[in-house]
Amino acid sequence: MGFSTDAIHVGQEPDPLTGAVVAPIYQTSTYVCESLGKTKGYDYARTTHPNRMALERTVAKLEGGKSAYVFTSGMAAIDAVFRLLRPGNHTVLPRALYGGTFRLASQLLADFGLQFSYVDTSNLDEVEQAIKPSTRMIYVETPSNPTMIVTDLAAVAALARNRNLTLVVDNTFLSPYLQQPIALGAHIVIHSMTKYLNGHSDCIGGAVVLTRSEDAEKVYFLQRAAGAGLAPMDCFLISRGIKTLAVRMDRHDSNGMTVAKFLEAHRKVERVLYPGLSSHPQHELAKRQQRGFGAMITFDLGSLDAARTLLNHLHLCSLAESLGGVEMLISHPASMTHSSMPPEVRKENGITDGMVRLSAGIEDIEDLIADLDQALAKV
Ligand SMILES: Cc1ncc(COP(=O)(O)O)c(C=O)c1O
């Protein structure tokens, strides 16, 4: 079936007990045993529950994976993937990386003996040179948060295959509708489902999508043993959100392109980073490996003062962490999403104080542009 049909039907079948078109929320912590050692397939909601199993089937299908496991946040999903490693194992990470992932690696996992190198993953030579005998994993975020660097997934996947390494891709910024890392050779895909998969800014969740049964067994064990599996209500909300993923992404994509072109033409804006613009250094690669360019746009106003003025004068667009919801959100990476990166690391990664990151919503495009236009006039 096509993507939209799968998004609406896989894992979203009518409830077999009652015929309800939308399966109920199984808001229970435990399940009664029919007799000692005999259950109906569920025993305790930390282990799993029907809403979680349903969402996991949907996400696995949409990403083209064998299986998926959903967690209480994108960070819990990323943490689960790193726990496939052992002390002493090394991972190649992008320098341009979501601040929370950088914090997890550098401030938490490093204390448990995991080793990381940070490189520009859009430069294959840099990735290759960072590989050591202890390397087990290459981790990529494309496009990267917030610098919108695009990594050639097929090329990195070929390198990972040759060197017997696991390729992990954070596909949060595009969703499976606009980018399919597994089809390009990735072994594992992770998502902050808080973003486009849910799409309505009303819950937090993460997913790990797997292609190998040995990884799946370990991640499922971890989900049960460490207890960060997603709760029934949150699974229900994300399953509902996913039904409209394709139509939302089409609108996000077209609004994103219009906003990016508007910003690029505006004299107060110094630079726009959006892979859909021909000025983006990896525009051709993005065209090749993505089905669209999405709605994440980063632009530079040249100074913290200018960024502050813009952010404080928007009316429709909300100044908030997060992205990927139906409403337009805007943030200041240096002081918000990437504040856990030391200033010198931010500088190295091209995250300036004048940078603003915008998540174009699916509102009427004229209203989004009008709001940005009036706020830019104050800069
Ligand atoms: C690219 C990316 N990956 C992972 C995460 C972490 O997800 P969560 O906030 O759901 O834990 C985020 C959050 O903003 C993100 O932008």
Which pairs count as long-range contacts for 9-12, CB under 8 Å and 24+ apart, including other chains? 10/57, 10/58, 10/61, 10/62, 11/53, 11/54, 11/55, 11/56, 11/57, 11/58, 11/61, 11/239, 12/54, 12/58, 12/239, 12/243
Any atom of ligand 1 within 6 Å of the Cβ of 178: no
Nearest CA among 114, 146, 126 for reference residue 272: 146
Give the position, in ligand 1's atom list, of the atom nearest the Cα of 75: 11
CA distances from residue 206 to 56, 71, 303 in whole angstroms, order as listed: 11, 5, 34
Instruction: Report CA(69)–ligand 1 centroid distance (Å).
Output: 16
Instruction: Report CA(318)–ligand 1 centroid distance (Å).
Output: 18
Give the pLDDT score at 345.
86
Any atom of ligand 1 within 6 Å of the Cβ of 192: yes
Tokens encoding 63? 């990403």
**pTM (predicted TM-score):** 0.97
Any atom of ligand 1 within 6 Å of the Cβ of 77: no
Give the pLDDT score at 341.
84
Any atom of ligand 1 within 6 Å of the Cβ of 206: yes
- For the chain, 379 residues long, give each residue's pLDDT as a single digit of tens: 999 999 999 999 999 889 999 989 999 999 999 999 999 999 999 999 999 999 999 999 999 999 999 999 999 999 999 999 999 999 999 998 999 999 999 999 999 999 999 999 999 999 999 999 999 999 999 999 999 999 999 999 999 999 999 999 999 999 999 999 999 999 999 999 999 999 999 999 999 999 999 999 999 999 999 999 999 999 999 999 999 999 999 999 999 999 999 999 999 999 999 999 999 999 999 999 999 999 999 999 999 999 999 999 999 999 999 999 999 999 999 999 888 888 998 888 889 999 999 999 999 999 999 999 999 999 9
